[in-house]
Amino acid sequence: MSKAQLSIRGEDLELPVIEGSEGEVGIDISRLRGGTGAVTLDAGYGNTGSCQSGITFIDGEKGILRYRGYAIEDLAEKASFEEVIHLLLWGELPTQGQLDDLNQKLGEYAVLDDGIKGFLKSLPKTAHPMSLLASAYTALETFYDSEGDSEEDVLRVLAGTATLSAYIYRHCKGLDFIDPRSDLDFAGNFLHMSFGKVGEEPNLNPAVQEAINKLLILHADHEQNCSASTVRMVGSAKASLYMSIAAGVGALSGPLHGGANQAVLEMLTAVQEDGGDLEKYVNMAKDKSSGFRLMGFGHRVYKNFDPRAKILKAACDEVLESLGLDDPLLDIAKKLEAVALEDEFFVKRRLYPNVDFYSGIIYRALSIPTNMFTVMFALGRVSGWIAQWKEMRNDPAFRIHRPRQIYIGETARAIQPISERG
């Protein structure tokens, strides 16, 4: 094993160098504080590896995303979301027998205690759906006699997310709930529970169902992002899976994380309300002093085309064609896409449309309210959260997360009598 040499305050320290299976290099600083009294300072943890993981690999420079070695392009084209769930949670793509067993269990655990319906109905219809989802996860734990870390809990959270998401959508719309069916897959069940009619058989559009299946796969995991790290952080205290996932929902709700696709539609709406003057907003995006930036373009990790966006672009075209929609907002989106793919300013800076841009368009086409977009994100991401949580809990090096800090406050001082304080 190679070593890194560190000299600080006259002290020399050798630190192990860890190399990942894809050539990534990390310096193990676990002995740094004990050996030197120093800690690293890395605001936002942008250069800090918080764990060793075998779930997701990303190469942002090359536009690569793989789940356990499988390219996201192959999974989106050849696998169902249920197969990807099995891959993320149990390490391998399932055999037919394993897939049948998983589908049966997902159908079984999608049926939730009736008390959950009453709980959701007691909450304001005007509340943000992500607040309702976080509340629902914490409430869910109270209806079951469990330690919160069993295989049953994993299946209940996983399958129950589709049910909870559909219930939340219908609650906000003032509609009666539709219960899950065992004869539908994950995507089909969500669509029927959300948009079906009470007492009627499912009537699903194949193009829409396939697009949702792809969206779930593409959103399933994305390495140590804000919400996945939050799930791991909370789970490291041995908090239950329910509480850990609820914390992940809280992180995902932020506009800098899961709220990006909602921001895309809000931006498109602003363009429409301003007379549809797309050129004006493109010029504003090019002008740093304007303070305006186009939402849904570029990515913090990918310095090339987001591989998920390429897949969704095709799915988006199929959905729009299948539904035969004539929506001015979607027309603006398509024109903006063309500008970003052809304009030298955007191409030179690699500001390509990302996954949030196309997912927002698809959700808009399905008449999903803008404030439900992030719930749709969570619908797929919950599988990755659970995989991250399981990996963390089963890690032989498991320990509670406890970051350090560099204190920059006042040094020791005495308390003055209140009469002497200026």
**pLDDT single digits (tens) 332-343:** 888 888 888 888
Crossing angle for the helix pair 355-365 and 260-273, to the nearest 10 degrees: 70
Report how far residue 417's alpha carbon sits from residue 133's, in angstroms, rounded to the nearest whole number. Answer: 49
Is 262 within a domain?
Answer: no
298: which 2 tokens? Answer: 């570029």
CA angle 381-383-389, nearest 5°? 105
414: which 2 tokens? Answer: 């005495």
Pairing between strand 64-67 and 56-59? antiparallel
Q: What is the CA radius of gyration of the chain?
A: 24
Sign of the C-alpha dihedral computed for residues 236, 241, 246 and 248 taken in this order: positive
Q: In the prediction, which pLDDT does 139 show?
A: 95
Report how far residue 129's alpha carbon sits from residue 217's, in angstroms, rounded to the nearest whole number. Answer: 22
CATH number assigned to the domain comprising residue 30 = 2.20.28
Q: In the prediction, which pLDDT does 93 show?
A: 98
Taking only the tens place, the pLDDT of each residue in 202-228 is 999 999 999 999 999 999 999 999 999
Domain enclosing residue 19, as ranges: 3-49
Taking only the tens place, the pLDDT of each residue in 303-360 is 777 888 889 888 888 888 888 877 787 788 888 888 888 888 888 888 888 888 888 8
Q: How many CA atoms lie within 13 A of 259 on its CB side?
A: 15
Q: In the prediction, which pLDDT does 330 show?
A: 76
CB atoms within 10 A of CB 204: 17
Q: In the prediction, which pLDDT does 297 show?
A: 84
Contact 393, 400 (CB under 8 A): no
Is 134 within a domain?
Answer: no
DSSP 272: H
Contact 374, 259 (CB under 8 A): yes
Answer whether residue 193 shows pLDDT above 90: yes
Query: In the sheet that 25-27 helps form, which strands lie side by side, from edge to edge?
Result: 3-8, 11-19, 25-27
Active site residues: 299, 356
> Taking residues 21-45, what's their average pLDDT?
90
Range scoring the smallest mean pLDDT among 293-302, 308-317, 383-392: 293-302
CA distances, 4 to each of 12, 28, 400 (Å): 10, 9, 26
Is 227 within a domain?
Answer: no
Q: Kindly state the percentage of the chain with pLDDT values over 70.
A: 100
Helix segments in 63-95, DSSP class H: 72-78, 81-90
Is 39 within a domain?
Answer: yes
Answer whether residue 298 shows pLDDT above 90: no
Q: In the prediction, which pLDDT does 215 show?
A: 95
Q: In the prediction, which pLDDT does 203 show?
A: 94
Number of domains in the chain: 1
Is 29 within a domain?
Answer: yes
Q: Is the pTM of this model over 0.85?
A: yes
Average pLDDT, the chain: 92
Answer whether residue 74 shows pLDDT above 80: yes
Confidence of residue 278 (pLDDT cuts 50, 70, 90): confident
Contact 185, 82 (CB under 8 A): yes
